[in-house]
Structure 1
Amino acid sequence: MRELILLRHAHAEPAGTGQADLDRPLSSTGLAEAEAAGKWLKENNLLPDCVLYSPARRTRETLEAVLGVIGNVEKRLDDGIYEATPGALAALVEDRRDVDRLLVVGHNPALEQLVALMSDGSSSEYRGMAPGGIAVLQIPRDTAIEPGVASLTAFWWP
């Protein structure tokens, strides 16, 4: 089995006047949520082999807070994660089949829809994913990413 860990960025500040959405920083609450997410991953021995993350400031800051707790791992910025569809995220995951435990730090609604699509077979049956929330999916090693292929093994939020 391989594991896919999906982490929604933690709470961010609202955009200021003239500020681009990509540039929104974490709030103080968000920073605490991101650190709690890192602690949960470490306590549950869910340390990723590789991280893909969105270029948005709030996802980068979420990841840095998590890495501050769990330690550094290979990480790759992927512009496609920002405003991605569940299908686009699934393709990114499929491209990294070589990774035993992949962490994706991104945004809703795509993350929560991907959880539903991979575990239930339909992206319309999603449960919601709080800021800083984590979903852990197990995927059979030699199976392509497709609807219903994964088992949701953990769902956590701060």
Structure 2
Amino acid sequence: MREIILLRHAHAEAAAPGEDDAGRPLSLRGEAEADAAGAWLKQHAAAPARVLSSPATRTRATCERVLASLGYVDLRFEPRIYDATPATLVRVLDDHADADTVLLVGHNPGLETLVALLTEGTSDSGRGMPPGAVAWLTLPAGSIEPGTARVRHFWWP
């Protein structure tokens, strides 16, 4: 079995006029959500072999706060995660197939659509992923195919 833990970044501040979306920091609420996600993952014995994060400020900050609870793991910033489609996210995960458990920290709508695609086999039945939400999926080893994943946990702050 392979485990993929998808974490949507926590709440971020609204973009200031002229500010780049990728530079938006976490809000105070978002900091609390990220801390809660880290505590929840630790409580459920999450042990990712690798962490992949969008380089956007809010995802980096979410990731850092979560890893403060989990301890050090192999962290890699992956530019393809920002504004990614489910197909791009699958390619990113395929590129890291050597890791049995991956924590991917990213954005909607890509994450919620990916959950629907992997669990239901279709990308139009997403259940949504609020900021700070975790979708913990299990898949058969060696394959990321539509409809093959099972939701082990779904949690949000």
Q: Structure 2 CA distance, aligned partners of 1:109 and 1:69?
A: 26
Deviation at 1:128, TM superposition (A): 0.3
Cα separation, 2, equivalents of 1:77 and 1:26 = 17
Q: Where does residue 26 of structure 2 map in the other structure?
A: 26
Instruction: Supply the distance in 1 between the matched residues of 2:139 and 2:92 (Cα, whole angstroms).
Output: 14
Q: Is 1:13 the counterpart of 2:13 in the alignment?
A: yes
1:156 and 2:148 correspond: no
- The code of the aligned residue for 1:57 comes to T
Gaps of 5+ in 2: none
Q: Report the secondary structure of 1:137's partner residue.
A: strand
TM-score of the aligned structures, taking structure 1 as reference length: 0.97
Identity %: 54
Aligned residue for 1:96? 96
1:4 matched to which residue of 2? 4
Alignment partner of 1:145 is 2:147? no
RMSD: 0.7
* Segments of 4+ moved more than 3 angstroms: none
Which amino acid letter does the alignment assign opposite residue 132 of structure 1?
A: G
Task: Show CA shifts across 1:68-120 (max 9, x none).
Answer: 11111101111000010001001111111111110000000000000000000
Q: Take 2:25 and 2:31, find their aligned partners in 1: how far apart are those partners? A: 9
Letter in 1 for 2:154: F
Alignment TM-score, normalising by the size of structure 2: 0.98
Gaps of 5+ in 1: none
